[in-house]
Amino acid sequence: MNHHQTGSSYKTRIIRSILTDDLNEAKKVLRETPEDFQLMARLAEKVQGRSHPLPLHKHPGPRFAMSSVSYTCGVGCEMCCSGFNDKTKLFDNYKNLSPSEFDEWSPWVEYGDEVMLVGMGETLDSPHIFDHLEKVRHKTTYLTTSGSTLTAKKAERLIQSGLNYLSLSFGGETTAGHGGGAINYSNLFWKNVTQLNVLKDKLKSSHPILRLQICVDLDNLGQLHSLIEKAVSKNIEEVELFYMIPSSHELFEKSVFSDYENSGEQIRTVLNYWLAKGLEISIYNRKELPEKPTSCHFADLLLIFNLDRYSPQPCCGPFKLPLETTGLTPDQYWNSFPLRYFRYLHANDGREKVPSLCESCWARDPNKFANSIQKAFASNKNPSNLIPIYQKASALKKQNKLKQAIEEFERVIETAEDSELLGKSHFHIGEIELMQENFENAFAQFREALRYQYNHQMAFCYFYLLWIILDKNAVHPGL
């Protein structure tokens, strides 16, 4: 399901060609473009005979190609970030990924090492799920479910489908999670797990390997040992922990982030205990919980396809990329400049500033995330209305009053906390510096624009061209 129109507009063609290193095509299109793109056209003509940015950050395909397949769910978790906490469907007329949509995604199935069917709704709600699994039988496959709709018939079909791993989401007795902590729900979950194991024995199958995914909050933090112990007794071979990410002040109070110093230590103790006992256990795909910020291991791990099939995400956070997959092969997209730069930033975390969304991400730096979200939920302060200043700055720029425009944009930057406003303000200063051929200054401004608004398409194109003109590959050898 896609909520945008695709087309061959000048802007789309320019962005796609520049960010996928097709500079001959970019120059050709720019020569045909209207006045709006003349600044970029002049810049593109200066690019001659130098290597593309960050050539050494082209990598093989992702380990995981992930896709949601269902947009309905009847569990009603309070913590649900997909919107099912108070409803059972997101749309009246769109409830699951169709076979034809799945087929359109198939090049990514082939490009990734492994395939995960997981996402926004209850995966087993999809009437096409077994058709989808048949199409990926030749791959290593994962499927995630709450387990609440895992009937005997579905369990048998999952075993026969060749599915490699079945991830069961359950958090025990937590009011925010699956079943709201109700004992009846818990009993149903474990009954379905037992039933699945009986069927595996009956069919003489070792697969699917069972995994338990636990969304950790304050309610179930003290239950983790007993929950994992029960899982092990039910032939669950792997356990993966996640944080419950709060979307309201009420959920924040229930989350580990309301007391992360103590909660983090308890999680660390659980990990170490079960790792010592030989259990395959991790938190966000890591076998340890670092005490200090670490480089993001998701930067080259996966690509997630949800509702907008042409705009995948590189992680489970709210991170957006500036390029769509339309008209590109998986390799062209995966090794486009935005993803190369994303890898470069995270590979050099500490020396380079990672995008602002990544700085306080729960996976990279849970302590900083805890502080930032606590501040956000505790604040009663109304944010300053900087829109009039931003609009004034934009008008001054159009009137060619460039010095005054920069002063007004800098006023916004000094005060703004909104990432989009910060990104746009840096972008406009970058364009002004570009008009005056202050290329180094422009480069620095576009870099800041991308730090705050990574999906800013024009900023990325300017940044790409300036990288080549300023020969930044030589400035940063080994890139």
pLDDT greater than 50 at residue 6: no
pLDDT higher than threshold 80 for residue 147 = yes
Residue 78: CB atoms within 10 Å: 18
Task: Give CA–CA dist 281/109, Å, rounded.
Answer: 26
pLDDT tens digit string along 57-92? Answer: 999 999 999 999 999 887 778 777 777 777 778 888
The CATH architecture that domain 64-347 belongs to is Alpha-Beta Barrel (3.20)
Tokens 């076979």 identify what position?
Answer: 99
If one looks up domain 387-475 in CATH, what number appears?
1.25.40.10
Bridge partners (DSSP) of residue 281 are 239
Q: What percent of the chain has pLDDT over 70?
A: 96
Residue 419 CB-density burial (10 A; 0-12 exposed, 13-18 middle, 19+ buried): middle
Every domain of the chain and the residues it spans: 10-49, 64-347, 387-475
pLDDT class for 365, splitting at 50, 70, 90? confident
Under 8 Å CB-to-CB from 442, ≥6 apart: which residues?
430, 431, 433, 434, 462, 466
- Amino acid, res. 242: F
- Any idea what the Cα angle at residue 179 is, between residues 217 and 118, rounded to 5°? 80
Mean pLDDT of the chain: 90
- Which pLDDT band holds residue 8 (cuts at 50, 70, 90)? low
**Residue pLDDT, tens place only, 384-418:** 689 999 999 999 999 999 999 999 999 999 999 88
Query: Hey, CA dihedral for 182, 186, 187, 189, is it positive or negative?
Result: positive
Reported as a single tens digit per residue, the pLDDT across 292-343 is 777 777 888 899 999 899 999 998 888 899 999 999 999 999 999 999 999 9
Q: Is 193 a residue whose pLDDT tops 50?
A: yes
Provide the 10 A C-beta neighbour count for residue 207: 16
- pTM of the shown model: 0.91
